[in-house]
Structure 1
Amino acid sequence: MILHPAANEGAAPVLTSAVTDGVCTLTLARPQARNSLSEAMMAALSSALAGIAADKSVRAVVLAAEGPVFSAGHDLKEIQAHRGDADRGRAYFAEVLGRCSALMTAIVRLPQPVIAAVEGMATAAGCQLVASCDLAVAGEKARFCTPGVNIGLFCHTPMVALSRNLGRKHALEMLLLGEWVEAPEAHRMGLVNRVVPEGTALAAAQELARRIAAKSTVPVKLGKEAFYAQMEMGLDDAYAYASRVMTENMLARDADEGISAVLEKRPASWEDR
């Protein structure tokens, strides 16, 4: 097991990482602080993702958490500690939000698919973290919330991830009401892919990850990147872009192998090229 330490030398790790059968499971390990996205947690996650991006042995990622809270979002104690700065915290707030935005973007741009395994609560930037993952599995008692509006702070940055995953009215309902959304409703809204019995989200997410890991990395990597890129385009541009990417995919060795395997009625043998 690889440990990603907190910012202070000798501090307890805030994130653990383990790789099995091509699946890397990252676990938020700060349950005593509700797995908040502190500076140390964001740094550890960003570092881990950077390493995973360059690691060809990792074919899929599962993001889980210790304790009853998946993540409560930003560390409010760290935020409030800078209210007394000369600029009332403006520079610090901008830096923290920039780091958080970069972390969420890194998940989206990671070559490997990322699956959230959610038990308990995911609030504010913690909910944003779930929405930023490519897929999400939730235990039946998991709950989600963007409560910023209730404390005078609209969840602007979580809004970016939510609005790209949910319908507009569903996203705005969460953002404007700041109320809890239970797992079945989160599934109906499209925030999570599956709801499973309590305590089994991690196992279910790892099973999905293993199924993805069994495929060639070529179409998975190209497909994930193309999915997010075409979402930002108009219809004509999206089809033109997708056609270019699919042409390149067709020229890959594994595409030739996969099609040949279908025609020859045999299992494919992937070389990830």
Structure 2
Amino acid sequence: MSEQSEALVKKVTDNGITTLTLNQPERRNSLSVAMLEALSTELESVSDDPETRVVVLAAAGKVFCAGHDLREVREQFDSHEFQLKLFNLCSKVMQQIVNLPKPVIARVAGVATAAGCQLVASCDLAVAADTARFATPGVNIGLFCSTPMVALSRNVSRKHAMEMLLTGEMVDAIKAERLGLVNQVVDEQALDEAVYRLAKTIAGKSGFTLRIGKEAFYKQLEMGLAEAYDYTSEVMANNMQAADAQEGICAFLEKREPDWKDK
């Protein structure tokens, strides 16, 4: 990993939980090309890491993520090639999160706007401090949040997504929870406790089972009802042949803790 990657995204693994921290608070943890490349590298590194069962995505400072780096964007106004590279790279990172074979929990303190809001919506779960705020404010500067819209519209209802996209107004943490953008809202002082309690609970499950379950969840969402049932029936039948499924069932019936082998 490069020194730049180390500087922009910090990585710490403890008891099966890997925390990736956006680490450029002086730039409001903006998703510059360098930041996106660093985050992409770290996501790739944890994908096959047997020590990682759950990923927590956090940010240093008072802002979770302010979206794209508008200074960088302004410097490249005349380069369609750069703009396309930036948005394609951002889209790649969001899909890496969805396709990562480990659950990803967003730890949100402060503001998450535009692509920062997209980042939260792309994570499997999100826990927010009561002081957190969210917005897709591109419409306010003449640049509609079209790519953030993809993740947002897959997490909240159409009308609520359109309201955020068309008004660009801030949504507080309580409303974000009501809309389904975050799972829970806690006092800012209790944020780490809530995040890592959730992460620890998930990390205690079979990594194999988590992987196939997350993959199946997102695949079936894009299917029709009958196709989704056919697909998930096949997934469950295959899952039943796994050592962890058989161990888990036996442990339940025998009233003991399962001994996961992650296979």
Structure 2 equivalent of residue 143 of structure 1:
133
Give structure 1 regions of 4+ aligned residues with deviation exceeding 4 angstroms.
Answer: none
Structure 2 equivalent of residue 41 of structure 1:
35
- 134, 140, 145: which is aligned to 2:124? 134
Give the deviation of 1:265 after TM superposition. 1.4
1:196 paired to 2:190: no
1:100 paired to 2:72: no
Question: Does structure 2 conserve the Cα–Cα contact (< 8 Å) formed by 1:115 and 1:137?
Answer: yes
5+ residue gaps, structure 2: none
Give the deviation of 1:210 after TM superposition. 1.0
SS at match of 1:115: strand
Identity of aligned residues (%): 55
Code of the residue aligned with 2:26 in structure 1: it is: Q
Q: C-alpha offsets along residues 86-140 of structure 1, whole Å, 9 cap, x if unaligned?
A: xx22111001000000000000000000000000000000000000000000000
Structure 2 equivalent of residue 66 of structure 1:
60
5+ residue gaps, structure 1: none
- 191, 206, 210: which is aligned to 1:220? 210
State how far apart, in whole Å, the 1-side matches of 2:127 and 2:21 are: 15
Structure 2 equivalent of residue 254 of structure 1:
244
Alignment of 1:148-187 (within 5 A): 148-187=138-177
Gap change, CA 1:176 and 1:34, over 3 Å in 2 = same
State how far apart, in whole Å, the 1-side matches of 2:71 and 2:250 are: 58
Q: How many residues align?
A: 263
Structure 1 equivalent of residue 3 of structure 2:
5
1:79 paired to 2:64: no
1 or 2, which has the higher helix percentage?
Answer: 2
SS at match of 1:200: helix
The more displaced of 234-243 and 198-207 is 198-207
Question: Does structure 2 conserve the Cα–Cα contact (< 8 Å) formed by 1:4 and 1:14?
Answer: no
Alignment TM-score, normalising by the size of structure 1: 0.94
Structure 2 equivalent of residue 27 of structure 1:
21
